[in-house]
Amino acid sequence: MDLGENFKKGILYTALGKYSNVVIQLIVTAVLSRILTPKEYGIVAVVNVFLVFFQILADSGIGPAIIQNKELNQSDLNSIFTLTIYSGLVLSVIFCILGYPMSLAYGDFIYIRLYLLLGICVFFYTITIVPQAILTKEMRFKQVNLLTLVANIVSGLVGILLALGNFGVYSLIFSNIVKALVLFLVLYWKVKLQPSRKIDRGSIKKIFEFSKFQFLFNFWNYFARNLDNLLIGRFINSSALGYYDKAYQLSLYPNQILSQIITPVIHPIMSNFEKNQKKMGEIYLQVSSLLIILGMPISAYLYFNAKDIIIFMFGDSWSESIPVFRILAVTIWLQMANSPTGAFYQATNRTNTLFKVGMLTSTINIAAIIIGIMMKDINAIAMMLLFSFTLSLGINTYYLTQKILNINIKFYMRSIFVSAIIIGPYILLNIFVLNINFSTLPNLVIQASVLILTWGLGLFISKEYKQLLLILRS
């Protein structure tokens, strides 16, 4: 099977997997949001910041390095897997200990129990890294996504059953534990891995040069993107964090649905074109154009329908999430356009540049969050993130087009300009004409219909649909 066919199949299976997982997550979230309180979600949001951070520590860039390196043999993989077992044990113990200072910082000893329980997650997520990377490297996208779906279904059912049984915040905790355990078991079942008696330094060295910059970028970028949760929970309150985090997580779904069906496939496929700069540049422009032209109408729709979406998804008790979600909706197309940049840094083996650029954009993000926190207003934090994401997209675009791929930036800017013109009529209709007062679901359906009609007409009149079809075919 050629690379083009692999890319198409990768996109297809990843799309099916992402769509299925997003649907499952939305259903689970919609059910749990009607059972659990914003405060309970706020408590878990604080814990999740460090849970995912420890996953990043565990990975240390190992996953992308395995995908990129073509010289790794079975012995190397076994040795790297053994390393993750030892590091998983160490990290899980450290994570458990972290519960005590967190309980003092937030004035609630529930964090001690939660960190002790989620230490199990840290271990299993750590030892999942190698089998998942192997399946991705071998372009077994169908299996990766199917197995992830199984884990999400099982963990979602566990969370709902426990919430109905009045387990409160622990329903979310045990759901996480089940997901981590099931995901490891099903992925490990599909690969040939055996722990080694000792760790081969030569095997580790093979991935270190690539992974060190990837790890440093992930480390810094993660805290930059999640500092808001830590600070809101500490300096405002848990309920405010619950409202904010719910809006933020919901704003991530479009990115997960569209851009992230492409980006996981880019790295293993594009690594074969590492020395073909022209081909890489063409693909970057095509992927970026596709995400921009799809992202802008999504941002517009979510912005004008923020109230109905929040009420429909989570219920009336989450109304304080509406203004935050409306602001974050504007950032969606920016995040979608920015999402494939990391994969292109990796595919061109420029993780050193990824780290440098990541340090710059993350510092901007941290500064934006701190300014928002100083205002003690979750809406202000969202506004500062909008500013930060705009700058980040500009910086990443500049480095990739001018410093790495040598692309004329006017082609990239054309995609933004044309997409803005196409979506213009829908925006104007909402400002001056559309004032629908039906119930929530009819409003959403009517708005979606108007969007599709105006967007489709814009594509036809501008003849941009031809370019869109060309991108999809290629």
Beta carbons of 374 and 384 less than 8 angstroms apart? no
Q: What secondary structure letter does DSSP report for 316?
A: G
The boundaries of the domain holding residue 52 are 1-223
Inter-helix orientation angle 3-33/306-314, to 10°? 70
219 or 91, higher pLDDT: 91
Nearest-angstrom CA–CA distance, 388 and 378 = 15
Could you give the 3-state DSSP secondary structure of residue 348?
Answer: coil
Is the model's pLDDT at 377 over the cut of 80? yes
Is the model's pLDDT at 437 over the cut of 80? no
Identify which of 60, 62, 57, 132 has the alpha carbon closest to the alpha carbon of residue 95. Answer: 57
Is the model's pLDDT at 172 over the cut of 90? yes
Domains of the chain: total = 2
* Measured CA angle at 277 (ends 276, 278), to 5 deg: 95
Could you give the 3-state DSSP secondary structure of residue 132?
Answer: helix
Is 229 within the bounds of a domain? Answer: no
209 and 274, same domain (yes or no): no
Placement of tokens 């719910």 in the chain: 246
Nearest-angstrom CA–CA distance, 423 and 293 = 9
Beta carbons of 17 and 149 less than 8 angstroms apart? yes
pLDDT value of position 263: 61
Nearest-angstrom CA–CA distance, 176 and 151 = 10
Q: What is the dihedral of CA 266, 269, 273, 279, to 10 degrees?
A: -50
pLDDT band at 155, cuts 50/70/90?
very high
Is 462 within the bounds of a domain? Answer: yes
* Rounded mean pLDDT, 291-299: 92
Last residue of a domain, one of 223, 247, 276: 223
Nearest-angstrom CA–CA distance, 213 and 221 = 12
271 and 292, same domain (yes or no): yes
129 and 59, same domain (yes or no): yes
Is 174 within the bounds of a domain? Answer: yes
52 and 105, same domain (yes or no): yes
pLDDT value of position 273: 62
Which range scores top for mean pLDDT: 46-55, 225-234, 292-301?
Answer: 292-301
**Identity of residue 461:** I
pLDDT value of position 95: 95
Is 231 within the bounds of a domain? Answer: no
pLDDT value of position 427: 92
- The model's pLDDT over 305-353, given as tens digits with 9 standing for 90+, comes to 999 999 998 888 899 999 999 999 999 999 999 888 877 887 777 878 8
Q: Lowest-confidence range among 112-116, 195-199, 202-206, 427-431?
A: 202-206
242 and 207, same domain (yes or no): no
DSSP string, 189-253: HTS-----SS--HHHHHHHHHHHHHHHHHHHHHHHHHHHHHHHHHHHT-HHHHHHHHHHHHHHHH
* Rounded mean pLDDT, 61-73: 74
Nearest-angstrom CA–CA distance, 366 and 222 = 10
Nearest-angstrom CA–CA distance, 239 and 221 = 26
pLDDT band at 228, cuts 50/70/90?
confident
pLDDT band at 52, cuts 50/70/90?
confident
Residue 18's CB is within 10 A of a number of other CB atoms, namely: 22
240 and 322, same domain (yes or no): yes
Mean pLDDT of the chain, nearest integer: 84
Q: What percent of the chain has pLDDT over 70?
A: 86
Is 228 within the bounds of a domain? Answer: no
Beta carbons of 62 and 80 less than 8 angstroms apart? yes
* Rounded mean pLDDT, 298-310: 94
> What's the token pair of residue 338?
């920015």
Q: What is the dihedral of CA 289, 291, 293, 299, to 10 degrees?
A: -150
179 and 285, same domain (yes or no): no
The per-residue b/e assignment along 201-214, b for 16 or more CB within 10 angstroms, e otherwise, is eebeebbeebbbbb
- The model's pLDDT over 112-121, given as tens digits with 9 standing for 90+, comes to 999 999 999 9
The helix/strand count (H/E) of the chain reads as: 19, 0
Is the model's pLDDT at 3 over the cut of 60? no
Placement of tokens 């690539």 in the chain: 210
Q: What secondary structure letter does DSSP report for 401?
A: I
- The model's pLDDT over 384-434, given as tens digits with 9 standing for 90+, comes to 999 999 999 999 999 888 888 888 888 788 888 988 999 999 999 888 876
Nearest-angstrom CA–CA distance, 200 and 83 = 9
* Rounded mean pLDDT, 202-223: 69
283 and 364, same domain (yes or no): yes
> What's the token pair of residue 313?
């998804």
296 and 317, same domain (yes or no): yes
Is the model's pLDDT at 2 over the cut of 60? no
The Cβ-side half-sphere exposure at 367, using a 13 Å CA radius, reads: 11
Q: How many residues does the chain have?
A: 474
Placement of tokens 């004409």 in the chain: 433
Last residue of a domain, one of 192, 223, 254: 223
Identify which of 179, 122, 185, 181 has the alpha carbon closest to the alpha carbon of residue 153. Answer: 179
> What's the token pair of residue 235?
């300096």
Is 371 within the bounds of a domain? Answer: yes
pLDDT value of position 356: 86
